[in-house]
Amino acid sequence: MGSKNRKEKYTLNSLEVAHTIVDILEEKKGEDILLLDIREITTIADYFVICSGTSDRMLDALADAVQRGIKTEHHIRPRIEGDPKTGWMLVDYGDIVVHLFAPDRRSFYRLEELWNEGKIILHLQ
């Protein structure tokens, strides 16, 4: 396969990657998953994925599953910030930022309210 074909194969559509992330989180029993389109209101990212996990171990498992799944399927690696013990982890793919919260931290930071001008693409409760 020529380099042009290889490059085309790995050209990513951010929305497709975001949907893959949502699928992974749903499969791993993430809770209250929200996919938010923020392209019209900021330049920091195109999409936020917000998800809750019920324990430190679950937050760590969700971050790990997203990282492994997206690396395997889309050949991209994230920058990960935060610690499951703090109740908030961030998995940053540039155009897509995944926020993984403990329920109390999610209620405290209220990202859905902060970014309420974004367009909700899907919400799995």
Could you give the angle at the alpha carbon of 124 between the alpha carbons of 121 and 125, nearest 5°?
A: 140
Phi, psi at residue 106, to the nearest 5°?
A: -65, -40
Q: Contact, 35 vs 122, CB < 8 A? A: yes
Give pTM, 2 decimals: 0.88
pLDDT at position 9 over 60 = no
Q: Return d(Cα 97, Cα 37) in angstroms, integer.
A: 11
Q: Is residue 1 part of a domain?
A: no
Q: Return d(Cα 9, Cα 113) in angstroms, integer.
A: 37
Q: Return d(Cα 113, Cα 63) in angstroms, integer.
A: 23
Q: Is residue 85 part of a domain?
A: yes
pLDDT of residue 6: 38
Q: How many domains are there within the chain?
A: 1
pLDDT of residue 7: 37
pLDDT of residue 12: 57
Its domain, for residue 103, covers: 12-120
Q: Is residue 25 part of a domain?
A: yes
Q: Is residue 5 part of a domain?
A: no
Q: Return d(Cα 45, Cα 14) in angstroms, integer.
A: 10
CATH, residue 37: 3.30.460.10
Q: Quick one: which of 103, 59, 105 has its CA closest to 81? A: 59
Which band of pLDDT confidence, cut at 50, 70 and 90, is reported for residue 115? Answer: very high
Task: Give the tokens for residue 121.
Answer: 């693409």
| Chain segment 44-103, per-residue pLDDT in tens | 999 999 999 999 999 999 999 999 999 999 999 999 999 999 999 999 999 999 999 999
Q: Is residue 47 part of a domain?
A: yes
